[in-house]
Structure 1
Amino acid sequence: MTMILRVLVAAVGLFNIAIGLLFLFNPAGAAANFFLIPDGSQGMATLRADFPGFFITGGSFALIGALQKDGRALLVPVMLLAIALTGRAVSLVADGIGPDAIPPMVAEAVMISLLLLCRSGLKR
């Protein structure tokens, strides 16, 4: 079971790294998928800096945790995703529920669950 969770966590890591690289090398295309509109060169720079920072960092630590069997490393992506999920929840309260609001929250909750399950399995 732990091996399956480690493989799933590695997949989460690779998925997040891929999103980060997409923002780095095709920020306008990636932004459209996230309902973002870059505003000039600083908007593009923000997309190339902040989003890869979030996704590549989280993905890298998920990979480190899965490959090195280090549950502590999994706390980094758990925290990043938990803060993102919290921000989405605040947005639901502040702005209402739009038609596209729930799927990213489900994806983040699933990733958090996988990371925590794997972390729990690595502690034994």
Structure 2
Amino acid sequence: MRLILTALLFVGGLFFVVTGADFLIRPEDAAAGFGMAATTKTGLAAIRGDMTAFFLITGLSMLIGAWRRNGDILLIPAFMLGCALLGRFITLLVNGADDGFFLPMIVEAVFVILSLLGSRILPHPVTDGDETT
């Protein structure tokens, strides 16, 4: 179970890192895949900077957490993807859905659950200040 969970987190981390790199290198094309478009250079910079940061932080946290078997680090992608999922849910309630709306929600929900499971199942490193005698 722990090996499968670690492998799924690692594969998910790779997916998010590749997606983040795509936003860094090809922001217009990557944004179009998410239904976004930049109309100004400021918008392009926001897509390149913000989306790259979101996906790289999420993906690298998953990779590090899985590689080091560190449950603490996995709270970062759980929170990041949970916030994204909340935003999508609010949009669903306020604006409704269109084609392709639910797939990202499913992916985010799956990786929130996997990250939270990893946070509970994988070890939490003990530091000098946390030890009790």
TM-score, normalised to structure 1's length? 0.95
Give the root-mean-square deviation of aligned CA atoms: 1.2
What is the Cα deviation at residue 123 of structure 1? 4.2
**2:27–2:44 Cα contact (<8 Å) kept:** yes
Q: Is structure 2 residue 88 aligned with structure 1 residue 72?
A: no
Corresponding residue number in structure 2 for 1:15 = 15
What is the Cα deviation at residue 99 of structure 1? 2.3
Q: Is structure 2 residue 51 aligned with structure 1 residue 51?
A: yes
* Distance (whole Å) between structure 2 residues aligned to residue 40 and residue 97 of structure 1: 26
* Distance (whole Å) between structure 1 residues aligned to residue 66 and residue 41 of structure 2: 37
Corresponding residue number in structure 1 for 2:85 = 85
Task: Look up the equivalent residue of 1:72 and give its one-letter code.
Answer: D
Q: Mind listing any 5+ residue stretches in structure 2 that lack a counterpart?
A: 125-133
Corresponding residue number in structure 1 for 2:5 = 5
Q: Mind listing any 5+ residue stretches in structure 1 that lack a counterpart?
A: none
Larger Rg, first or second structure (1 or 2): 2
What is the Cα deviation at residue 120 of structure 1? 2.1
> Matched residues, percent identical?
37
* Distance (whole Å) between structure 2 residues aligned to residue 55 and residue 123 of structure 1: 24
TM-score, normalised to structure 2's length? 0.89
* Distance (whole Å) between structure 1 residues aligned to residue 123 and residue 73 of structure 2: 12
Corresponding residue number in structure 1 for 2:94 = 94
What is the Cα deviation at residue 47 of structure 1? 1.2
CA deviation profile, 1:43-89 (whole Å, cap 9, x unmatched): 11111100010000011111111011110100000000000000000
